[in-house]
Amino acid sequence: MPLLNSVGVHEPFALRSIMEIVTDDSYGLGESYGDSAHLKRLKDAAHDMEGVSVYNTNLIYKICENSLEGDNATGGDGMAGMVTTASVTDKVFSPFEVACLDIQGKIAGLPVCEILGGRVRDNVQYSAYLFYKWGSHPGQPEDIYGEALDSTGIVRQAQKIITKYGFKAIKLKGGVFPPAEEVKAVKALHTAFPEMPLRLDPNAAWTVETSKWVASQLEGIVEYLEDPAPEIEGMAAVAKQASMPLATNMAVVAFSHLPPSVAQDAVQVILSDHHFWGGLRKSQTLAAICSTWKMGLSMHSNSHLGISLAAMTHLAAATPNLDYACDTHWPWKRDEEDVIVEGALKWRDGGVAVPTAPGLGIEIDREKLERLHQQYLECGMTKRDDTTYMRNFRPEFSPHIPRW
């Protein structure tokens, strides 16, 4: 759906790669970004993977690292240029690790969350992730959520999405309209849903000064403010004055970013994401670091299918210090557009029931996979580019940040 963000608008297709590791008597699934640069890296790494034990994830990491030698390019991660400094090896390794854990679970007859140390919850809560949006892609009939270009539209969207999924926390993607407009929308949400924890995420579209102003306006209203200003230094400057915690999936996106961030108390909540933090086990390491340094932990989302939702759910189920409802883009894809056999992931009370079947607890539907693969070939898209798509309709659009 045509969701707006600080760098443009979502295109009619979201690219994903499906990883399948095949053993003598089983198979495991992983899911990751689908941009051509990333696909090439996955294929290069897969080339040297034959015969490796699915338990030897250290060796698999090494193979990924070796296959990337000399590759200094950034991006390729389907985040439309918003996050470019994450570790490329971690991004490539992640779907291999998830697929290996899927197989390990199947062999042991245990769900992945049990392999990761045991479930601490049976239902993983997700947030209602609201977006300003057009009513449809230009020239298309209106989609099920319709237009949301002001606070009234955002409250209407929240009502629809919460009625459908039962979410108990709300996140608004900002960085689209002038900050005062977005503050107004968050206040309107607070009035409409007084009990709901709220968050606002402009993807670093504001200056430090503007961020401080927004923080003062939303005091006592948001549970955290996500990526108001760019970079660790910008976040640290805002954090000095903001009364609420600051969260990030942009300033701190790799282990090497943690020491400078902790030293400056730049962010108080890390949004983990196994797709770029190096898989499920490294995300558990991140959780341990957050607990050590008394930082909160939440979970970031990028457009995804059911394999990723299953992996996110198992990880969250096995992470005791996950303090907030996770983000998900799930409502923004068409229901039938997935690659997994229907029915394995059940939405209940704003969350997903943690699967109890061995491994990830999902199976690939090969007909659906083939259908989506054909869509991929026909759409001709090989790279997510929200900015160029936006400029087809608004030639003057600039993704420059900070811009307010």
Q: CB of 301: closest distance to Mg ion in angstroms?
A: 9
- Max Cα-Cα span within the chain: 59
What is the rounded CA–CA span in Å between residue 98 and residue 360?
A: 9
What is the rounded CA–CA span in Å between residue 169 and residue 35?
A: 31
Interface residue with ligand GKR, options 249, 268, 272, 284 (CB under 6 A)? 249
Q: Which helix (H) or strand (E) holds 347?
A: strand 347-348
Helix (H, G, I), strand (E, B) or coil at 126: strand
Site for Mg ion in 225-244 (CB under 5 A): 226
Q: Decide whether 54 or 297 has the Cβ nearer to ligand GKR.
A: 297
Q: Decide whether 136 or 387 has the Cβ nearer to ligand GKR.
A: 387
Is-cis flag, bond preceding 402, omega within 30? Answer: yes
Q: Decide whether 65 or 231 has the Cβ nearer to Mg ion.
A: 231
What is the rounded CA–CA span in Å between residue 278 and residue 267?
A: 20
Amino acid in the structure at residue 221: I
Q: Which helix (H) or strand (E) holds 22?
A: strand 16-22
Q: Tokens 């770029």, residue?
A: 276
Are 260 and 240 within 8 A, CB to CB?
Answer: no
Interface residue with ligand GKR, options 21, 79, 198, 307 (CB under 6 A)? 79
Tell me which of Mg ion, ligand GKR, none is bound by residue 319, counting a contact when its beta carbon lies within the kind-specific cut-off of 5 to 8 angstroms: none
Q: Decide whether 42 or 297 has the Cβ nearer to Mg ion.
A: 297
Q: Which helix (H) or strand (E) holds 339?
A: none
Interface residue with ligand GKR, options 18, 29, 60, 82 (CB under 6 A)? 82
Q: Tokens 């798509």, residue?
A: 389
Tell how far CA 376 is from the center of its chain: 21
**Would you give the binding string for Mg ion spanning residues 323-352, x where CB under 5 A is met?**
------------------------------
Are 132 and 177 within 8 A, CB to CB?
Answer: yes
Tell how far CA 72 is from the center of its chain: 24
Q: Does 298 engage in binding with ligand GKR (CB under 6 A)? A: no
Are 19 and 30 within 8 A, CB to CB?
Answer: yes
Q: Could you tell me which stretch among 17-25, 30-38, 200-208, 353-361 binds Mg ion (CB under 5 A)?
A: 200-208
Q: Decide whether 48 or 323 has the Cβ nearer to Mg ion.
A: 323
Q: Does 249 engage in binding with Mg ion (CB under 5 A)? A: yes
Catalytic residue annotation = 173, 300
Q: Does 247 engage in binding with ligand GKR (CB under 6 A)? A: no
Q: Could you tell me which stretch among 16-24, 78-86, 87-95, 207-215 binds ligand GKR (CB under 6 A)?
A: 78-86
Q: CB of 180: closest distance to ligand GKR in angstroms?
A: 21
Q: Tokens 């090896």, residue?
A: 89
Q: Does 275 engage in binding with ligand GKR (CB under 6 A)? A: no
Q: Does 257 engage in binding with ligand GKR (CB under 6 A)? A: no
Interface residue with ligand GKR, options 1, 3, 183, 214 (CB under 6 A)? 3
Q: Does 300 engage in binding with ligand GKR (CB under 6 A)? A: yes
Q: Does 201 engage in binding with Mg ion (CB under 5 A)? A: yes
**β strands within 55-125, DSSP E:** 123-125
Give the interface with ligand GKR as residue ranges (CB under 6 A). 3, 5, 79-80, 82, 173, 201, 203, 249, 300-303, 329
